[in-house]
Amino acid sequence: EESAARVVLTSLLACLPAGPRVYFLKGGYETFYSEYPECCVDVQPISQEKVETEKALMSQCGKPVLSISYRPAYDQGGPVEILPFLYLGSAYHASKCEFLANLHITALLNVSRRLSEACATHVHYKWIPVEDNHTADISSHFQEAIDFIDCVREKGGKVLVHCEAGISRSPTICMAYLMKAKQFRLKDAFDYIKQRRSVVSPNFGFMGQLL
Q: Are 74 and 50 in contact (CB under 8 A)?
A: no
- Three-class secondary structure of residue 162 per DSSP: strand
CA separation for the pair 109, 145 (Å, rounded)? 8
Residues in the chain: 211
Starting at the earlier edge strand, list the strands of the sheet with 124-127: 80-83, 86-89, 159-162, 107-110, 124-127
CB atoms inside a 10 Å sphere around CB 180: 16
- CA–CA dist 177, 153 (Å, integer): 12
Active site positions, annotated:
163
Cα separation, 100 vs 60, in Å, equals 45
What is d(CA 39, CA 73) in angstroms, rounded to the nearest whole number?
7
Distance from C-alpha of 137 to C-alpha of 8, rounded to nearest angstrom? 47
